[in-house]
Amino acid sequence: MGLTAGLTEAQWSQINQATSALNAQQLTWLSGYLAGLAQTGQPAVAMPQATATPSQSLTILYGSQTGNAKAVAEEYKAKLDEAGLPAKLYNMADYKAKQLKSESHVVMVVSTHGEGDAPDDAVEFHSFVGGKKAPKLPDLQYSVIGLGDSSYEFFCQTAKDFDEGLAKLGASRMLDRVDCDVDYDADVQAWAEKLTAKLKDSLSTGTQTSVATAVSAAVSGGTKYTKKAPFTATLLESQKITGRDSVKDIRHIEISLEDSGIQYRPGDALGVWFTNDTQLVDELLGLLSIAGDSQVKWSGDDYEIKTLLTDKLELTQSYPTFAKAYAEFANNADLNALLEDKAALREFLSVRQIVDIVRQYPAKVTAQQFVDSLRSITPRLYSIASSQDEVEDEVHLTVALVEFEAHGEQHQGGASSFLSTRLNEGGEVKVFVEHNDNFRLPEDGNTPVIMIGPGTGIAPFRAFMQQREADESEGKNWLFFGNPNYTQDFLYQTEWQRFVKEGVVDKVTLAFSRDQEQKIYVQHRMLEQGAELYQWLEDGAHLYVCGDATRMAKDVQDALVQIVVQHGGKTEEQAEQYINDLRRAKRYQKDVY
Amino acid sequence: MTTDNKNFVVEGKLADNERLKTESNFLRGTIAENLTDDLTGAFVGDNFQLIRFHGMYQQDDRDIRAERAKQKLEPLQNVMLRARLPGGIISTDQWLAIDKFAEEKSIYGSIRLTTRQTFQFHGVLKPNVKPMHQMLNSIGMDSIATAGDVNRNVLCTSNPVESELHQEAYEWAKKISEHLLPKTRAYAEVWLDEEKAESTEEPILGPTYLPRKFKTTVTIPPQNDVDVHANDLNFVAIAENGKLIGFNVLVGGGLAMTHGDTSTYPRKADDFGFIGLEHTLAVAEAVITTQRDWGNRVNRKNAKTKYTLERVGTDNFKAEVEKRSGAKFAPSKPYEFTSRGDRIGWVEGIDGKHHLTLFIENGRILDYPGKTLKTGCAEIAKIHPGDMRMTANQNLIIAGVPAELKGKIEAIAREHGLISDDVSPQRKDSMACVSLPTCPLAMAEAERYLPDAVTQIEGFLAKHGLPEESIIYRVTGCPNGCGRAMLAEVGLVGKGPGKYNFHLGGNREGTRIPRMYKENIGEQEIMAELDSLIGRWAKERNESEAFGDFLIRAEVIKPVVNSAKDFHDDSFVPA
């Protein structure tokens, strides 16, 4: 080692002798003293190796549900490395909460889901920071960046909680918290630059943090294709897999990844870039009386507005930033009033696309002004429904066509309608893989698996079972599935029949909500089968939930607590602990959206 | 000649259905377990066959089978239920209950009257199957043995005019049905949650039941609405002074055959002779047990009573029946069949009550746009004090209407399109089985094709100056013959999509089997032939000569005389 080369054996021996009797605090003080000596140019012995000190540590903690926050954290760590500021990187689930009081600099990247919920891997740490056991942190400097979706009421709530929680404990902000919306790239970049500069000031480069191995150093996928540089894939098949009388239009999508070298694992998601429906764009431009060939500037380039709206800008979801910018042109009292009431605005936006707002509140706006009020399209993530051991260079998705009538008009979701109706077989689609280590089959093939996946939540479980079949795993598998009608909506019915026949799947429990007067959902079936389900958990089963986050995942969680109370003879508190333990042991994983 | 049973038992490897019955534990199989398996909407394995003994067929919507395969969905599995309704009589309360069930719990929402003088529910999904049987049970009905290798629903001529004679005949139909019913408790256990029986005996049918399906009628001449020659066992009612005194017993009719297998053929029933009423059940039982013991259990295609008679000889079979029943057949009493159709419209019975026969095209009672047949029947059932009767021609009789309600009931019937003055004689004399999309055996359209086909034939009759004439015209989707095309003047037997074997030369009374005139031809070709033949008939017919009789006389086709020998004889068909 370069740093130790300057020391003779005798010097080493002396140092060891001198320090052997010192306690940790004395050692810490001494390290600072020695560093000071070094900086003032006084002759002194150099440190053999920089060690972590409370006053000089840098740790990045992330809590991520879909992988976005994790990716931001990893990218930031790489940037810090480049800047000569090596940091430790931890998933919040793997971080020892008590360690926090020994830290000097902490960066948190955390997303928020559903009704202000923390991602699964952040749940425990989140409650620790906000709870009674949290220590005072007068010496801690921190920065929090949140990822979220501003169309939700509790936008970036988890980030806010951490930010405020740490402040209450006496820690000090290096930067104001940044709450990122769905298109977060620019915000993240700006935050990263500012924070790096601050850290450079605050952390002396001479006292590097210890080179502790980052826990989550897995290289993501070994592919060069990313969100920003996606692979142009080919649509092989788009097949409706709900019956002709179904109330839902759900598609099985097969995409070729041929020659991309892309590798994914069951549990991963596929990011899909899409373009908007040109009819929708025409309608919008018509309403605004803007010519389709109007020239606009966007992100430094020149575009015809029609092309820009079709290819680059978000039209099928609406968001507060648009409402705010557009309101200035609309000059409508109702719309202005909405901006003042966050809950009402969210309600308003949730049932409208951009075109609905424009139709409802006509405005005189130039092509450039309109474009500037919109944000860029963000790719949609779909849980992958296949295993490469089964489908090789294909990737399969299960996509529900979002389709609804509102305000007297027919509406469709952007990506789902692109995949289901606008993209022809053989057509091109830009994709990338989002790895999700928070949704993985147990490493041991003998471990039993319980899968709860109503609706399109069934997708990753099709991948799981393809994998387990390919691996010839011996572990038992139990699927809970639900949808409106048995005859119309039993997704992949013939495949599940085969899985059962071949002995891959041991049990399939079904809940079809509309086949009887009383609505029956998966959580009701779980409760009915509670004794057996609890036994599976006791036998070490891993439990997975995929699908709707707002209601299903909560109902399933409540059902789990009830089951553990009833069949495990526990109090509600103990049951919650039991489930938390499952989560911590990565035996309870969620992929909800 | 010996009647040693053993000589008449066909040796060889038993058909798989025999294994299935043997292993079924008296028809229980694993139906109960299968009911709770919701991974599939079907009854699988042996249960696919076994539920037939409980009156159900596993079916699916064949129109969308390929579409659903692509959707990774299994076929739209459902069951068809055929109720047991000896003589076709149903109370108005029962009617309202089945009307409600069809509406709420079946895919097709219809009550389908069938040639077996009962009704079928089509498209019942598995979760509704048990509630369906419980509903039937709650109104005093069941569907035991309306399908499978057993004696099926017993028909009885619909003759509301001679009300006393009909009542007596109808009572016998019920008694015969009950007497020959399986004794196993399987139905009650599986569907009605009744306690498991400790042991089961089947003294009449035996543990492996019959070699093949078995059909029985009670017939009141001169009506042959039940088509005696389509049935294994017929009790032809003989009356003196309006009072039933006994039956001529006709054995061994049947219409089913297999395409391309000349060892199969439609066959008329043989007349065994007359018996007094006191021997009725014993003779019924003896015919059944003789067929049970002698019927071919090796080859199901030759298992029906008609083939047993051909193989062992009618005399031997008859002697065995006499031996087993203790009855002696006297020479047949004279009787005559004059027609098979129903008398559509009002008739007055000798009891002074009124009876309204409603023509139901294809027997399909459903609310069509502008023709709310099903609602109409239910509205009538709500106010009608008598009963309702299904006929073997798939029509419905509102029986026993007091004079003061005639007007009201007729008004309801007209309002809902149940009475329509412009239904032609041709339409009334036309019939089709259910076929596509639900019947798994169907090879070509029947029910869905019939209305248009009849319209075309009506056109030919009008064109050739015979608008008031009719031809017994029947279409059956496969050679099993539910549509009884093999007793029609013009019979079409489904061969493939849009293709039929075209038979000619039956008679109006249903006592002559039509011969195949052209094989596997399309609808257009059939219609062109009919147009031309009807044209000849119009010009060349004798006074009142029926179409089928004319074709024989004009040597367009040679009559089938002894079907076992001459049905498949090509030399009988003109080049």
Q: Is B377 a catalytic residue?
A: no
Confidence of residue B4 (pLDDT cuts 50, 70, 90): low
**Does B324 qualify as catalytic in the annotation?**
no
Contact B73 A510 (CB under 8 A): no
Query: In the annotation, is B433 catalytic?
Result: yes
Contact residues, B window 471-490, toward A, CB-based 8 Å cutoff: none
| Residue B5 predicted with pLDDT over 80 | no
B39/A508 touch (CB, cutoff 8 Å), yes or no? yes
* Lowest-confidence pick of A192-196, A276-280, B446-450: A192-196
The CA distance from A295 to the nearest CA of chain B, in Å, is 45
Strands across the sheet containing A394-400: A380-383, A269-272, A428-434, A231-240, A250-256, A394-400
Residue A45 pLDDT > 50: no
Average pLDDT, chain B: 95
At A213, the pLDDT band (50, 70, 90 cuts) reads: very low
Q: What angle do CA A111, A114, A118 make, to 5 degrees?
A: 40
By the CB < 8 Å criterion, does B494 face chain A?
A: no
Q: Over the stretch A295-346, which tens digit does the pLDDT of each residue have? A: 999 999 999 999 999 999 999 999 999 999 999 999 999 999 999 988 899 8
Residue A244 to residue B67, Cβ atoms within 8 A:
yes
CB pair distance less than 8 Å for B39 and A500: yes
Residue B71 touches partner A, C-beta closer than 8 Å: yes
* Residue A32 pLDDT exceeds 60: no
> Which of B39, B64, B125 is closest, CB to CB, to A496?
B39
Active site residue B482: yes
Where on the phi/psi map is residue A53: left (φ > 0), alpha (ψ -120 to 50), or beta? beta
What pLDDT score does A57 carry? 82
Coil, strand or helix: which one is B302?
helix
Residue B571, pLDDT > 90, answer no
Coil, strand or helix at A351: coil
Q: How confident is the model at residue B6 (pLDDT cuts 50, 70, 90)?
A: low
**Chain centroid, CA B349 distance in Å:** 26
**pLDDT tier at A46, thresholds 50, 70, 90:** very low
> Measured between alpha carbons, how far is B146 from B81 in angstroms, rounded to an integer?
9
- Among the listed residues B21, B84, B185, B215, the single catalytic one is B215
Least trusted range by pLDDT, from A207-211, B149-153, B549-553: A207-211
The DSSP line for A429-495 is EEEEEE--TTS---SSTTS-EEEE--GGGGHHHHHHHHHHHHHT--S-EEEEEEES-HHHH-TTHHH
The three-state secondary structure class of B361 is: helix
List, for residues B10-40, the tens digit of each pLDDT value: 999 999 999 999 999 999 999 999 999 999 9
* Residue among B213, B364, B427, B512 flagged as catalytic: B213
A495 chain-B contacts, CB cut-off 8 A = 72
> Is pLDDT above 60 for A212?
no
B40 and A CB contact within 8 Å: yes
What per-residue confidence (pLDDT) applies to A43? 42
Contact B72 A508 (CB under 8 A): no
Looking at B474, B478, B508, B515, which residue is catalytic?
B478
- Chain B residues touching A239 at Cβ < 8 A: 70-72
Q: What is the pLDDT of residue A37?
A: 55
Q: Please count the other Cβ atoms lying within 10 Å of the Cβ belonging to residue A525.
A: 20
Q: What is the number of alpha carbons within 13 Å of residue B318 lying toward its C-beta? A: 20
Write the residue in B39, B67, B68 that is nearest to A497 by C-beta: B39
Model pLDDT, residue B1:
42
The residue of chain B nearest to residue A495, with distances taken between CA atoms, is: B72
In angstroms, the separation between the Cα of residue A493 and the nearest Cα of chain B is 5
Name the minimum distance, in Å, from the CA of B110 to any CA of chain A.
19
Least confident segment among A115-124, A327-336, B143-152, B409-418: A115-124
Q: Three-state SS for A334?
A: helix
| Average pLDDT rounded to a whole number, residues A420-441 | 95
Which range is least confidently modeled, A52-56, A464-468, B161-165?
Answer: A52-56
Residues 6 or more apart in contact with residue B296 via CB below 8 angstroms:
B10, B211, B302, B303, B307, B308, B311
Q: Select the residue of A240, A492, A497 nearest B40 (Cβ to Cβ).
A: A497
DSSP single-letter state for residue A354: H
Q: Is the pLDDT of residue B322 over 90?
A: yes
Query: Is the alpha carbon torsion for B183, B185, B187, B188 positive or negative?
Result: positive
Cβ-nearest to B41 among A486, A494, A496? A486
Residue A427 pLDDT more than 80?
Answer: yes
CA distance B552 to B44: 48
Q: What percent of chain B shows pLDDT beyond 70?
A: 98
Touching check for B196 and chain A: CB below 8 Å?
A: no
Give the pLDDT confidence score for residue A204 in this predicted structure: 62
A224 pLDDT more than 90: no
Residue in B21, B28, B82, B474 annotated catalytic? B82
CB A448 within 8 A of CB A539: yes
Copy the structure tokens of residue B17. Answer: 């259905």
First to last CA, chain B: 43
Residue B129 at interface with chain A, using a CB cutoff of 8 Å: no
- Mutation test of the interface with chain B: which of A493, A502, A520, choosing the one with the most B Cβ atoms within 10 A? A493
Could you give the 3-state DSSP secondary structure of residue B174?
Answer: helix
**For A421, what's the count of Cα atoms within 13 Å in the CB-facing half-sphere?**
15
Q: pLDDT tens for residues A350-407? A: 889 999 999 999 999 999 999 999 999 999 999 999 999 999 999 999 999 999 998 8
Q: Which of B70, B125, B127 sits opposite A239 (nearest CB)?
A: B70
In this prediction, residues B502-506 reach a mean pLDDT of: 97
Of the residues B72, B78, B79, B104, the best mutation for testing chain A's interface (the one with the most A CB atoms within 10 Å of its CB) is B72
Percentage of chain B with pLDDT > 90? 95
Are the C-beta atoms of residues A167 and A140 closer than 8 Å to each other?
Answer: no
- pLDDT of A218 reads 36
The region of weakest confidence among A81-85, A241-245, A479-483, B447-451 is: A81-85
Determine the Cα–Cα distance for residues A421 and A415; give it in Å rounded to an integer: 10
Which residues in chain A are contacts of B67 at CB distance < 8 A? 244
What is chain B's alpha carbon radius of gyration, rounded to the nearest angstrom?
Answer: 23
| A49-61 residue pLDDT tens | 444 444 578 899 9
> Among partner residues A493, A508, A510, which is closest to B73 by beta-carbon distance?
A493
Inter-chain CB proximity B73 and A252 less than 8 Å: no
What lies within 8 Å, CB to CB, of B271 at 6+ separation is B248, B249, B250, B332
| Among the listed residues B260, B266, B249, the one whose alpha carbon sits nearest the alpha carbon of residue B307 | B266
Checking DSSP bridges between strand B371-372 and strand B270-276, what pairing results, if any?
A: unpaired
Q: Which residues contact B434 (CB under 8 A, 6 or more apart)?
A: B80, B112, B114, B120, B122, B442, B446, B447, B477, B482
Angle between helices A333-340 and A320-330 (to 10 degrees): 150
Residue B156 known to be catalytic: no
Q: What residues of A are in the B interface, CB distance below 8 Å?
A: 239-244, 252, 486-488, 490-497, 500, 508, 510, 515-516
Mean pLDDT within B410-421? 96
User: What is the rounded average pLDDT of the residues B62-72?
Assistant: 95
Catalytic residue among B52, B374, B433, B512: B433
Shortest CA distance from A485: residue in chain B: B125
Lowest mean pLDDT among A197-201, A456-460, A518-522, B252-256: A197-201
pLDDT in tens, B111-134: 999 999 999 999 999 999 999 999
Q: Mark yes or no for CB contact A500/B73 under 8 Å.
A: no
Cis-peptide into B437, omega within 30 deg: yes
Distance (Å, rounded) from C-alpha A32 to C-alpha A44? 13
DSSP-derived 3-state class of residue A309: helix
Within 8 A of B72 by CB-CB distance, chain A residues are 239, 241, 252, 491-495
Residue B371 tokens, joined? 């023709």
Q: Which of B74, B125, B127 sits opposite A497 (nearest CB)?
A: B74
| pLDDT grade for A31, boundaries at 50, 70 and 90 | low
Nearest chain B alpha carbon to A240: B71
Q: What is the pTM of this model?
A: 0.83
- What number is the average pLDDT over the span B403-429? 96
Radius of gyration of chain A (CA): 27
pLDDT tens figures, B75-107: 999 999 999 999 999 999 999 999 999 999 999
Chain A residues whose beta carbon lies within 8 Å of the beta carbon of residue B125? 486-487
Nearest CA in chain B to A505: B39
Supply the ipTM of this predicted assembly: 0.90
Which residue in the block uniquely carries the two structure tokens 């079904």?
A: A510
Give me the amino acid identity at B32: A
The burial of B276, by beta-carbon neighbours within 10 Å (0-12 exposed, 13-18 middle, 19 or more buried), is given as middle
Chain A contact for B532 (CB, 8 A cutoff): no
pLDDT of A91-128, one tens digit each? Answer: 888 788 878 888 889 999 999 887 788 887 788 889 88
Q: Which of the residue ranges A68-72, B339-343, B466-470, B544-548 would you say has the lowest mean pLDDT?
A: A68-72
Q: Which of B38, B68, B72 lies at the smallest CB-CB distance from A492?
A: B72
Summarize chain B as % helix, strand, coil (round to 5). 35, 20, 45
* Residue that wins the pLDDT comparison between B427 and B160: B427
The pLDDT of residue A13 is above 90: no
Q: Which of B44, B71, B78 to mutate to test the interface with A (most CBs of A within 10 A)?
A: B71
Q: Which of B39, B60, B108, B125 to mutate to test the interface with A (most CBs of A within 10 A)?
A: B39
Pairing status of strand B243-251 against strand A507-512: unpaired
CB contact under 8 A, B41 and A491: no
